[in-house]
Structure 1
């Protein structure tokens, strides 16, 4: 089972051509990862704290409708985190967050995850906002130590990081416990203080990560291991509605591909395996960007060729 831990929130997304009206869309990086994996018919659970408000109820129901196990979800009377989304002419998203006193940052440590857990995925605001960030950090180290395949997508929201240097140091402390690091090329350069993304990936592999997947927007995906860049996949050419949830879909689909094949050790994967995995993740993300908001595809929405690749 995949466990995705972190924030669940509501994106307020432009809803008209003038981008003056905002409509609520359910989301959050780790939440979207859980949706993406669950909709691909892979056993998946979500770990977070959700509000008892109407947004929290809707977030929980959407997980359940997508086949995601919600038994690890905690509830509280605190409000739901909000994110105001601004879209540029290409559909790229920029976020402003309202997080003070919200439910997801108050998640409690659940202790050891269920014995069926094979993959733990963390990231985005869950690894930034305290006190929850310390809870997830402890889980990362604990589950890695007992052999769970750990995955991290930092999904940097720079406006939410008060001390970038301190965050970079903390990020470096996670790497020995991270088996799979998925990061956009822009985030890679931010994390490495302006160093080229490929050089940054090499340094993270030296720090203990088994594989670094770089997403490059319209230029597709690449994976780096101890053997260098071992595989790439092009982005799918589709009309882009917006890019909300694209990276999360890549991450969730990639984890689903690994879980379906019972991959426990990333070094066991061949370059051909990685090529198939990246191509599948790119195709899933192509569906997401073709429609408004973070709406990862279901297995039934993929073509027979795509579905056979899961």
Structure 2
């Protein structure tokens, strides 16, 4: 099983009324929940760990996750309000304004008795949960318990508008990278954290620090990756009619983890020995799933039955 630990929220996405006025449409989101949904839709047994409200929006979140086959037994339900995010698309990037004070997600607490790790092969985390001290500390406690036997996947999915102290945040992300087997980030996140540093140079630093696989996504330019044993790998992104890019990075990560699961390369020992051919196949599949997500509005990753046979 894959467990995705982190944020679950409601995105308010730009839309239009029938008479052409600006409007906002609510949709279930949150990077870590999106990844749980994306991997479950690709037939990977997946659970979500984090706080989900019992309010109207929280019920929307829970119903949406359950409809995609995500196991919510390890999630914590509370009567605190749901996190809300208002999205604005600028070019190929989506910017967010978050309303996250005293929410169910923000107040999630890791309890060992509620998060069974038996049968778990991978724990994924990242995004807004790691911005705040409490969320980062609770997530780190889970990772420390899981780390000896479970693959740790990280996508910082940086949200600069939530960061108060960039140096402290960068140090925190480096610490989480040091505990991760798989580190994935977009080129935009990379630039925020590491400036003009060469991708390959930072990848080598992360690999020498303990990671097995480092992946940088580059939008229309596909993805590049570095593996401790297999070396550098690249995959192209297919050309599609882009409706919006919301959730594309999450869809990529879900598909990458699903592909490694399908190849039986997700567990720590198998991940360390993955071949260049297997990684190329996994990265190509992830790029295709991300592109597919861009063809429809919102964070709506594909189900296996929707994908053409040649995607895999």
Q: Per the shorter chain, which TM-score range? A: over 0.9
Take 2:227 and 2:137, find their aligned partners in 1: how far apart are those partners? 28
- Deviation of 1:198 (Å): 2.8
Q: Secondary structure at the match of 1:125?
A: helix
SS across alignment from 1:293: coil
**Structure 2 partner of 1:44:** 46
User: What SS is found at the alignment partner of 1:106?
Assistant: coil
Give the match for residue 167 of structure 1.
169
Q: 1:92·1:242 contact (CA, 8 Å) conserved in 2?
A: no
- Give the unaligned 5+ runs of structure 2: none
Distance in 1 (CA, whole Å) between partners of 2:145 and 2:177 is 13
Q: Which residue matches 2:3?
A: 3
Query: What do the CA deviations read for 1:182-213 (whole angstroms, capped 9, x no partner)?
Result: 10112112212442333222222222111101
Pairs aligned (count): 305
Q: Secondary structure at the match of 1:131?
A: helix
Matches within 5 A, 1:218-257: 218-226=220-228, 230-257=232-259
Equivalent-residue separation in structure 2 for 1:260 and 1:70 (angstroms): 22
Tell me the distance in 2 between the aligned counterparts of 1:159 and 1:224.
29
- 1:259 aligned residue: 261
Distance 1:82 1:299 in 2: 29
CA RMSD of aligned residues (A): 1.6
The 2-side partners of 1:222 and 1:206 are apart by 18
**In structure 2, distance between residues paired with 1:229 and 1:289:** 29
Shift of 1:79: 0.8
Farther off after superposition, 218-227 or 177-186? 218-227
TM-score calculated relative to the size of structure 1: 0.94
- Residue deviations 1:30-58 (CA, integer Å, cap 9, x gap): 01000100001110000111111111001
Point out 4+ residue stretches in structure 1 off by more than 4 angstroms: none
Residues of 2 paired with 1:71 and 1:162: CA distance? 33
Given that residues 247 and 299 in structure 2 are in contact (C-alpha distance below 8 angstroms), is that contact kept between their aligned partners in structure 1? yes
Q: Return the TM-score normalized by structure 2.
A: 0.93
Unaligned residue ranges in structure 1 (runs of 5+): none
Aligned to 1:113: 116
Q: Does 1:72 align with 2:74?
A: yes
